[in-house]
């Protein structure tokens, strides 16, 4: 009973009350410690911020020039804004020249269809240039290895992609460059001054059938000639490694 004076009963009620109170109520000591710790951290952070702000004000005051602030219209103020030296940097590569072709257009390409993308690029560039009815010096590297060696020596590279275009002796670039110039209208400006054909651009050569090469007339394509004085066969000096020469009708 609650009103009983029995010490055993009072101890039981007291013990149960103590257990329940400790299980439900949070401890007082950690709560007070956390609140004190939070207040101390706030005070420390505020004091650090104030010190940093004071230091910034001191350094800014030292950097400021003494005297009145100059106005933007002041010539001394404008002279400080101007750079002391102007340096001009040009990222454009030096122009590559193909000697002896200042009056024409030269296209290095291949007529082989082993690589489809390369053949399509070569065909597209040739068709674009032919639409302007200009004389084109087409140099097929697959038909004459001398053209390949010539292109490598001019560009100074070991491997190159085809086609490669030179306009008035100056190196222009490959298929992507020609297509971009044609779309923007700059290709027509670059071709001004080049000789124009009197006939249409789609006329096929009667001598070579638009192959640009014919068999050598000196050796009939055999690459060998008989020297009567020395009584032996020698290499023909007029044709290439395939026994061909450039068509005199369309490539002269």
Q: Specify whether 141 is located in the same domain as 222.
A: no
What is the rounded distance in angstroms from the CA atom of residue 203 to the CA atom of residue 29? 104
Let me know if residue 162 belongs to a domain: yes
What is the rounded distance in angstroms from the CA atom of residue 184 to the CA atom of residue 89? 26
Let me know if residue 14 belongs to a domain: no
Structure tokens at 116: 């489809």
What is the rounded distance in angstroms from the CA atom of residue 62 to the CA atom of residue 58? 6
Residue 151: which CATH number? 3.40.30.10
Let me know if residue 85 belongs to a domain: no
Domain around 252 = 204-252
Q: What is the pLDDT of residues 124-180, one digit of tens each?
A: 999 999 999 888 999 999 999 999 999 999 998 878 899 999 999 999 999 999 999
Alpha helix segments (H runs only) across the chain: 7-24, 28-63, 75-81, 116-130, 145-155, 175-184, 186-190
Predicted TM-score (pTM) of the model is: 0.61
Which residue, chain included where needed, has tokens 């070579």? 208
Half-sphere exposure of 56 (CA within 13 A, CB side): 6
Q: Do residues 207 and 184 make contact, with C-beta atoms less than 8 angstroms apart? A: no
Q: Specify whether 243 is located in the same domain as 154.
A: no
What pairing do the DSSP bridges indicate for beta strands 164-167 and 105-109? antiparallel
Q: Specify whether 125 is located in the same domain as 171.
A: yes
Q: What is the pLDDT of residues 43-102, one digit of tens each?
A: 445 566 666 676 666 655 555 555 555 555 555 555 554 444 433 333 445 589 998 898
């Amino acid at each position: 009973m609650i009103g009983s004076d029995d010490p055993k009963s009072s101890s039981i009620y007291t013990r149960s009350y103590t257990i329940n109170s400790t299980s439900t109520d949070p401890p007082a000591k950690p709560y007070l410690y956390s609140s004190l710790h939070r207040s101390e951290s706030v005070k420390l952070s505020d004091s650090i911020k104030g010190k940093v702000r004071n230091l910034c004000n001191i350094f800014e005051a030292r950097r400021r020039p003494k005297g009145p602030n100059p106005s933007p219209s002041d010539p001394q103020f404008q002279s400080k804004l101007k750079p002391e030296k102007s340096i001009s940097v040009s990222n454009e590569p030096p122009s590559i020249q193909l000697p002896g072709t200042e009056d024409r257009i030269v296209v290095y390409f291949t007529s082989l269809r082993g690589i489809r993308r390369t053949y399509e690029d070569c065909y597209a560039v040739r068709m674009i240039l032919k639409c302007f009815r200009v004389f084109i010096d087409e140099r097929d590297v697959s038909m004459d290895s001398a053209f390949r060696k010539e292109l490598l020596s001019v560009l100074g590279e070991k491997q190159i992609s085809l086609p490669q275009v030179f306009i008035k002796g100056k190196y222009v670039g490959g298929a992507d460059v020609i297509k971009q110039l044609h779309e923007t209208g700059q290709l027509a400006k670059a071709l001004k001054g080049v000789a124009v054909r009197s006939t249409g651009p789609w006329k096929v050569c009667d001598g070579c059938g638009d192959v640009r090469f014919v068999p050598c007339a000196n050796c009939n394509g055999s690459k060998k000639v008989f020297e009567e004085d020395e009584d032996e066969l020698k290499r023909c000096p007029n044709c290439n490694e395939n026994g061909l020469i450039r068509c005199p009708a369309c490539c002269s």
